[in-house]
């Protein structure tokens, strides 16, 4: 039995119907919602991550790709965690292969938690290492909600490297995006810019605060003193 099958079996053994119902509601799997028809076993993130740590070293790339096409959300989450952990300890060739698996299986990275646990640690980390933006730019131009969010969250790796231009460029690109999940992602990344360099954020907000969605602006200025938050919110 492969390590991937052992991991899947352990996940199946922990299935909890009541938790699955709760997660299905939380992640908006109802008709017409952003994760329509996604399926949950009912396993929380810490338990999933704990299991992944037992097996990730032994799971083959093909098995991770296969898990990303599972109907079970927790399988896809586990596959991404395996990829993240393998990427952190891989050489250049293996990292490139993991990036390709990620990009070739984007259809399985289709909820905000799946994006947020992986985009900056794989796609973003690779782009920073190579100082190459084409993959992120292609995702940003995809007109697909999840791929657009991958692009935004991937920019976190650049923020951590004290490079802010990509995040600010994407914030402008998506300034009129219709989806709240993008408003939140952009605001979150702007807040991360502010943690590293407040002046870079305030210079941006002085130009764009009035145009940003309210949710984006609220997220971006969350750590500001009350008076400063009120000053920017009054621009809306």
User: What are 4-35's pLDDT values in tens digits?
Assistant: 999 999 999 999 999 999 999 999 998 899 98
86 touches 102 (CB < 8 A): no
Q: Count CA within 13 A, CB hemisphere, residue 8.
A: 18
Instruction: Report the alpha-carbon distance of residue 176 to residue 213 in Å, rounded.
Output: 8
At CA 82, angle to CA 133 and CA 152, rounded to 5? Answer: 30
Segment 196-222 mean pLDDT: 97
Segment 39-58 mean pLDDT: 96
With tokens 């305030």, the residue in question is: 202
Structure tokens at 12: 């199946």
Share of the chain above pLDDT 70, in %: 100
Which H/E stretch holds residue 74? Answer: helix 73-88
pLDDT, greater one: 235 or 52: 52
Q: Which CATH class is domain 1-118?
A: mainly alpha
Model pLDDT for residues 88-119, shown as the tens digit of each residue: 999 999 999 999 999 999 999 999 999 999 99
211 touches 236 (CB < 8 A): no
28: left (phi over 0), alpha (psi -120 to 50) or beta: left
Q: How confident is the model at residue 235 (pLDDT cuts 50, 70, 90)?
A: confident
Whole-number pLDDT of residue 116: 98
Q: Count CA within 13 A, CB hemisphere, residue 158.
A: 23
Burial of 215 (0-12, 13-18, 19+ CB in 10 A): middle
Cα–Cα separations (whole angstroms), residue 85 to 28, 155, 195: 28, 19, 26
pLDDT at residue 236 tops 80: no
Model pLDDT for residues 130-169, shown as the tens digit of each residue: 999 999 999 999 999 999 999 999 999 999 999 999 999 9
> Does pTM top 0.85 for this prediction?
yes
H-state helical runs in 105-222: 112-116, 125-130, 134-140, 145-154, 156-160, 165-173, 180-196, 198-208, 214-220
């Amino acid at each position: 039995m492969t390590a991937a099958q052992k991991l899947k079996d352990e996940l199946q053994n922990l299935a909890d119907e009541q938790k699955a119902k709760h997660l299905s509601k939380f992640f908006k799997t109802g008709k017409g919602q952003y994760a329509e028809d996604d399926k949950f076993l009912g396993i929380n993130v810490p338990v999933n991550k704990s299991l992944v740590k037992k097996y990730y070293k032994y799971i083959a790339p093909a098995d991770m790709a296969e898990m990303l096409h599972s109907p079970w959300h927790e399988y896809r989450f586990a596959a991404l965690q395996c990829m993240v952990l393998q990427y952190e300890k891989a050489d250049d060739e293996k990292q490139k292969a993991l990036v390709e698996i990620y990009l070739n299986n984007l259809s399985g990275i289709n909820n905000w938690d799946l994006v947020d646990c992986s985009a900056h640690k794989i796609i973003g980390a690779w782009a920073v290492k190579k100082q190459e933006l084409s993959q992120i730019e292609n995702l940003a131009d995809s007109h697909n909600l999840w791929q657009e969010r991958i692009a935004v969250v991937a920019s976190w790796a650049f923020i951590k490297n004290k490079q802010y231009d990509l995040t600010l460029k994407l914030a402008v690109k998506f300034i009129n995006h219709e989806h709240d999940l993008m408003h939140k992602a952009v605001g979150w990344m702007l807040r991360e810019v502010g943690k590293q360099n407040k002046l870079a954020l305030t210079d941006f907000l002085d130009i764009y605060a009035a145009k940003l969605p309210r949710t984006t602006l609220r997220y971006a200025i969350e750590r500001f003193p009350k008076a400063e938050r009120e000053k920017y919110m009054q621009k809306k």
